[in-house]
Structure 1
Amino acid sequence: MLLMHKEMHCFAAVAGRLSFSKAAADLGMSQPAMSQAITRLERAAGVRLFERTAREVRLTAEGKGLLPYAEQVIEAARAFAAEAARLARPTIHLAYPPLVGALAARIARRLAGRSPAIGVELRAAGRGAAAQALANGEISAAILATPAPAQFVTAARFHVTVDHLAVPAGHRLESWPRVGGAELGGEVLLSPGSRPWAGLPGRSRMVADDDFAAALDLVAAGAGLLPIPQLLARTIRREDVRFVPLDAGDLRITYALAWSKERVTPELMALVQAVQDALWTR
């Protein structure tokens, strides 16, 4: 039997309403056209789908058995159309560090809401992985901690203030109301990125990329202390890590949107504008 999507849609509508006239009105059809569609489907299937009398419409046993399959066909057709529409629209592939995931989501919503809409495929990635994907042309742009590699163009810089310190549970500093730089002498400071923390005493230990989640595991293991932004301290709950306010002056991480100058498109320029707008209105 050839796929009869329209007829199956009519079948499901009549089954839901148990009325040819109401189903026809729902679909914007005439009642005779609805009856003809059901008749075509019954002939193609070789079974009766409904028992029809002057007073009522009932599903036959065969109709009840076939209805779930018709609904699956209708849903598959809807999913096909939705996915085709998504694939047909321009799409930006954006890598971002998990620390700024809320900003990345806001950017995606802005681009989806513009006209014409631009789809955004988000990829959480550390600095090294994001820069490599950008260089390979696997993504359109990336939010990178600065300084970005020299081969990329950057714009829309923004700062994330670092004002808390993650310490392992039971550490001497866990109950302090506030920790200053002077108290960090002799401590190992974990640095998720390519550079040590500027202006802080102590010994630096680099953590791969800018993965703060992995760095917190090291804190819990007693491998060092981790300066972190307040937004992480507010959202992360761990029994083995404590967050203490940190007074370290103008300590911050600077990020920027980066892209390859050889791959500039109108969609990329729309992304740059969306990032700037999102930063301005946050």
Structure 2
Amino acid sequence: MLKEIQCFARVAARLSFSAAAADQGMSQPAMSQAITRLERAAGVRLFERSAREVRLTAEGLALLPYAEQVLESAAAFTAEAARLARPTIHLAYPPLIGALAARIVRRMASRSPAIGVELRMAGRAAASAALESGEVSAAILAIPAPVRFVTAARFHVTVDHVAVPAGHALAGRSALVPADLAGHALLTPEGRPWAGLPGHRRLLPGDDFAAALDLVAAGAGLLPIPQLLVRTVRRDDVRFVPLEAPDLRITYALAWSKERVTGELLALVQAVQDALWTR
């Protein structure tokens, strides 16, 4: 019956049996037979046919939206079945590198055979715990990663701005150098020593830079951040001032448990490496 409904929708769209048949890769008699079978099953005429034109009947016009819904549901069923049937790997990643995570998903989907990637946005502690428990197959973690994990595909994110409160004395500066931060509290995500920067540290749990901006706005301190985050955040209560400190960076890597190596994981490693070298 699905094939007959497809034929009905195609003839309704084209108002031509011959054109609809060509679209479906069928002969015109086969198309006519499919419509006849559907009309008999439904108990109504769907089209008025003459030598010059094809028109939907009132009944055909009323039934067309239902036919389109059936076809949409069938297409969704097929797509979801294909998604469930293909191998899937779970990847945790920090919010800062969402664009890279999206590229990885696209690369895995374009493989043959395709591999699905379920993304989980998570900070360092949550990602490490999920990796340890097996909830995710791999995670992108800031280096140094816990020693119990294997790492590969390292890359760097330059920290080249400082987030300051909108009313702060440094907010109007066109650029800063490390010496300008002396005497100020620096919000420091866990595991980020920010070597070479003066000022006293206020340690933050985890590595959620976006959440730390609330503390900046509240006047709790200044936050060195990468341009990756600057490009995605728009806030009236925080200013992002360029920082001239070329050696300041965060190193990330793909991490996984050596006890859970699969073919899909190896494909993910390759996809991450490819995504880092291309756009």
Which of 199, 205, 209 matches 2:206?
Answer: 209
Distance 1:261 1:28 in 2: 51
Distance 1:204 1:222 in 2: 14
Residue 56 of structure 1: how far off its partner (Å): 2.2
Distance 2:81 2:208 in 1: 35
Matched, 1:110 2:126: no
Matched, 1:251 2:248: yes
Matched with 2:58 is 61
Residue 277 to residue 21, structure 1, CA distance change in 2 (3 Å): closer
Listed one character per residue, the Cα deviations across residues 202-253 of structure 1 (whole Å, up to 9, x for unaligned) are 2222233211111111111111100011232344332211112223452211
- Consecutive unaligned residues of structure 2, counting only runs of 5 or more, are none
Distance 2:240 2:19 in 1: 62
- Consecutive unaligned residues of structure 1, counting only runs of 5 or more, are none
Listed one character per residue, the Cα deviations across residues 6-58 of structure 1 (whole Å, up to 9, x for unaligned) are 11011111111222222112211122211221111111111111122233222
Q: Percent identity?
A: 79
Question: Within 5 A, what are the aligned runs for 1:132-281?
Answer: 132-248=129-245, 250-281=247-278
One-letter code aligned to 1:116: P
CA contact (8 A) 1:127 1:193 kept: no
SS in 1 for 2:159: strand
Distance 2:79 2:93 in 1: 26
Please give the TM-score of this superposition, normalised by the length of structure 2: 0.93
Listed one character per residue, the Cα deviations across residues 118-137 of structure 1 (whole Å, up to 9, x for unaligned) are 22222221111111111121
Distance 1:179 1:30 in 2: 73
Residue 74 of structure 1: how far off its partner (Å): 0.8
One-letter code aligned to 1:105: A
Distance 2:221 2:171 in 1: 13
SS in 1 for 2:131: helix
Matched, 1:6 2:3: yes
More divergent stretch after superposition (68-77 vs 55-64): 55-64
Distance 1:173 1:223 in 2: 14
> Paired residues, what number?
279
CA contact (8 A) 1:187 1:224 kept: yes
Distance 2:264 2:32 in 1: 48
What do you get for the CA RMSD once the two structures are aligned? 1.7
Matched with 2:67 is 70
One-letter code aligned to 2:201: S
CA contact (8 A) 1:134 1:259 kept: yes
CA contact (8 A) 2:97 2:228 kept: no
Matched, 1:30 2:27: yes
Matched with 1:17 is 14
Please give the TM-score of this superposition, normalised by the length of structure 1: 0.92
SS in 2 for 1:171: coil
Listed one character per residue, the Cα deviations across residues 119-158 of structure 1 (whole Å, up to 9, x for unaligned) are 2222221111111111121111110011112221111111
Question: Within 5 A, what are the aligned runs for 1:75-94?
Answer: 75-94=72-91
CA contact (8 A) 2:186 2:200 kept: yes
CA contact (8 A) 1:196 1:206 kept: no
Distance 2:246 2:83 in 1: 46
Distance 2:272 2:249 in 1: 19
CA contact (8 A) 1:161 1:229 kept: yes
Distance 2:157 2:143 in 1: 12
SS in 2 for 1:277: helix
Distance 1:88 1:192 in 2: 40
CA contact (8 A) 2:92 2:121 kept: yes
SS in 1 for 2:243: strand
